[in-house]
Chain A
């Protein structure tokens, strides 16, 4: 897949890159990070102008993210019906409104594997569109210009950089899952402990 996409980018340039990152932002399993780093190297070789290519990619990926946010937004009603405005849902919504900005930024360039679910959750949980747009633009700018810049810096050796960053991204996802699991485990133990104490006192 990545080989085919790279061939298309060297043939057709920024427009095909824009389409790839747009579809990727909607959830297609494209190797986005590898492509962005490769494009940085292509820009170094003078194959693509770095500024217009970067801006086209940024515009397209932000558009794709906002579209997946909109999907979450329009799915809000059925989700609310499902959870019937329960206390647990309200708490989850409050938590996302507090920490959502961080989640949006970090999932744009580091924990990219969960970027689409975060977009959907942001749309569903009433996270403001302006805030989402701001954090999304910030994170995607780091992804496009930061990672692309590394490709530019390393030139023809961009594959080494891509390998490191892709694995660090996977490692981050694993650590986040582990962290959530441990946090939920501690909460469950505390709840069971509190119930036991209540039962003992009664």
Chain B
């Protein structure tokens, strides 16, 4: 390999390295900022308890109705009924596939309907009852 080719190769490597590191480094900084806002649950909870999801903003169009039903603890029939679709033959289809097949003229209608139905079926938040005041100590 001639010194000229070697020099070009080295410069190419350095340039590509700076470019890739800069691009992903910047993205990593933004991703880390976002990460800080999402602290994981305490370890004893994360590894032992089954957490019931309530945040409908985490629903994505690759998810299927049975998967969403399981995650949000809602019967899949409620979701299929809300969409007016039969579960038979549609259980393995993603929300995007269902949207394209049954509502081709209304993009994202399926995901929005599912979010609305889940929110409507979530149990109302219960009021936190404060502890009863301790009785005065008797002598």
Tell yes or no: B108 within 8 A of A by CB.
no
**Do the beta carbons of B34 and A163 come within 8 Å of each other?**
yes
Chain B residues with CB under 8 A of A167: 24-25, 27-28, 31
Tell yes or no: A180 within 8 A of B by CB.
yes
Question: Whole-angstrom distance between the alpha carbons of A179 and B16 in the complex?
Answer: 11
Counted as pairs of residues, one from A and one from B, with CB atoms less than 8 Å apart, the total is 128
Tell yes or no: B55 within 8 A of A by CB.
yes
Number of interface residues of B (CB under 8 A): 47
Question: Whole-angstrom distance between the alpha carbons of A184 and B28 in the complex?
Answer: 27
**Do the beta carbons of A174 and B60 come within 8 Å of each other?**
no
0/1 string, B7-30, CB within 8 A of A gives 1: 101111110111111111101100
Tell yes or no: B114 within 8 A of A by CB.
no
Chain A's interface size range is 35 or more
Interface of A is mostly: helix
Chain B residues with CB under 8 A of A160: 31, 34-35, 38
**Do the beta carbons of B31 and A181 come within 8 Å of each other?**
no
Question: Whole-angstrom distance between the alpha carbons of A176 and B19 in the complex?
Answer: 12
> What are 27 residue pairs bridging A and B, where the CB atoms are less than 8 Å apart in the complex?
A2-B62, A7-B63, A10-B64, A46-B70, A154-B40, A154-B46, A155-B51, A156-B71, A160-B31, A164-B28, A164-B34, A167-B31, A170-B23, A171-B20, A173-B20, A174-B17, A174-B23, A174-B25, A175-B21, A176-B17, A177-B17, A178-B14, A178-B18, A181-B14, A184-B6, A184-B13, A185-B10
Residues of A participating in the B interface, judged by any CB pair closer than 8 Å: 2-4, 6-7, 10-11, 44-47, 152-157, 160-161, 163-164, 167-171, 173-182, 184-185, 188, 192
